[in-house]
Amino acid sequence: MHELSIANAILKTIEAECRARGGLRPRRAGLRIGELSSVNAESLRFALTAATRDTPFAELELAIESCSPRRLCRACGAHYVGGLLSACPRCACSSADLLGGDELEITYLEVEDETCRT
């Protein structure tokens, strides 16, 4: 259910962007999904297929880039890659801010050269 709401939010954003840029026809969308975003890429693909059926976006391809959690140690300031249960590799402190890895972003669109005139 969660992925379906995410799929709808993605479509709404793409639709608005295409409209705002004079009627672009998107063929492929680049998505960045953090490992901590609680979104499963395969479920999202499935939800997007369901949500775009019989719409102008039915042929839209997805290019999904996954990204790992990036942390900033609150004790020693080290940057490291690690999940919410990982400790700082430098000082072993487990208190760290999350700098990234929970992203859910549309990074780019590949669009047909001709804009839609209708």
Partner 1 sequence: MKRVELEQKVLSENDKIAARLRESFRERGILCLNLISAPGSGKTALLESTLNGFASHEAVGVLTGDIQTDSDAARLRRYGFPVKQITTGGTCHLNASMIENALREFPIGKIELLFIENVGNLVCPSSYDLGEAAKIVLLSVTEGDEKPLKYPGTFFKARLMLVTKLDLLPHVSFDLGRAEANARAVNPELEIIHLSCATGEGLGAWSEWIERRRHACGNRSFGAETLAGAANARPTAAPEGIDRSPGKPAIKTAIS
Closer residue to partner 1, CB minimum distance, 60 or 109: 109
Question: With binding defined as CB under 8 A, does residue 107 bind partner 1?
Answer: yes
Which residues within the stretch 31-60 sit at the binding site for partner 1 (CB under 8 A)?
31, 36-39
Closer residue to partner 1, CB minimum distance, 30 or 72: 30
Spatial separation of the C-alpha atoms in residues 117 and 104, rounded to whole Å: 31
Spatial separation of the C-alpha atoms in residues 81 and 98, rounded to whole Å: 10
x-marked contacts with partner 1 along 74-103 as a string, rule CB under 8 A = ---------xxx--------xx--x---xx
Q: Which residue has the tokens 């140690």?
A: 73
Spatial separation of the C-alpha atoms in residues 32 and 20, rounded to whole Å: 22
Question: Whole-number minimum distance, CB 2 to partner 1, in Å?
Answer: 4
- Check: CB of residue 38 under 8 Å from CB of residue 78: no
Closer residue to partner 1, CB minimum distance, 58 or 93: 93
- Check: CB of residue 101 under 8 Å from CB of residue 34: yes
Question: Whole-number minimum distance, CB 44 to partner 1, in Å?
Answer: 10
